A = this chain, B = another copy of it.
């Protein structure tokens, strides 16, 4: 029998099963620089040690999106190597700060299973938890993926679907203990907009576009040790529907978050992802843009504000053309235009 693994199929999952994912990873300063080179991120908290110290951090904190990418990468080999589609995320909570030097390990519990009526695939719901080397939980998230069955046919008569919250409530956000906004310097971060400058319902067109190239998205995905073959194997993907490799959806999240700096430069800390979905695939050559709607704004005390944001990532289009289409889709409760690739609902911390 061949010792290499083809990953798990729908039949290999059972309710309550806990998977301890391999290859825990120590995060270094180099991951931080590579992340900047791969995404163009400019949030000051993660590239300026003096700024981080002014906000109360004695060590260099890791961007939560980078920490999530590395933690998520650990789960791929077990959960989504045979995924048809990564359907969604919910209840992504950043519980403790991840620092340079931390080693992140991840385990996932199967919290839901549902066969599709075609008999070929099923949906697996998992609750994943990332720990640091001290055994503290640093990230917790739920996601669901459509997974191939090993053998066609229906197995079971019932489905278990977990109840997922549509939001990590503002009251339940984990505020980094060290975070101190009193010395926050907007000249360093690049914009003067604090929480009070934003209004519910307001849209921000982040203006800039980033074109994805082959080496960049595959390097990012390899850096996270995410080994899903759809991103890497052109020889096989050339006979797939799109005839090319798919860009890892997480990389699109990173690009959109990096683009959002223009208009949200003070939204330094991603505190939670309430929900997210990859609506369409992206490919090398696509130019990614982002726009954000401010959903809700709330003061948390101690100079800290929280904002719930909805960022749409879209490609090869202009905001002027896309916006009316979005409004129409909203009114008609129809699907978003096909050049929208990401719909991400998340909560950030920002000075008051």
Residues of chain A touching chain B, judged by Cβ–Cβ distance below 8 Å, are 2-6, 20, 22-26, 28-34, 36-40, 42, 44, 47-51, 60, 77, 101, 103, 105, 133, 187-191, 193, 197-198, 202-211, 213-216, 218-220, 222-223, 225, 227, 229, 232-236, 245, 262-265, 285, 287, 289, 315-317
CB-nearest residue of chain B to A198: B3
B38 in contact with A219 (CB, 8 Å) = yes
A-B contact pairs, 9 of them (CB 8 A): A2-B205, A3-B191, A26-B60, A30-B32, A36-B223, A37-B219, A209-B232, A213-B213, A216-B218
Which 4 pairs from chain A and chain B are nearest by CB? A22-B190, A235-B287, A30-B33, A4-B263
Q: Nearest Cβ distance between residue A161 and chain B, in whole angstroms?
A: 29
Q: Which residues of B contact A220 (CB under 8 A)?
A: 37
How many copies the complex holds: the figure is: 3
Q: Which residues of B contact A214 (CB under 8 A)?
A: 211, 213-216
Q: Which residues of B contact A225 (CB under 8 A)?
A: 36, 40, 42, 47
Q: Nearest Cβ distance between residue A110 and chain B, in whole angstroms?
A: 17
CB-nearest residue of chain B to A205: B2
B234 in contact with A23 (CB, 8 Å) = no
B3 in contact with A193 (CB, 8 Å) = yes
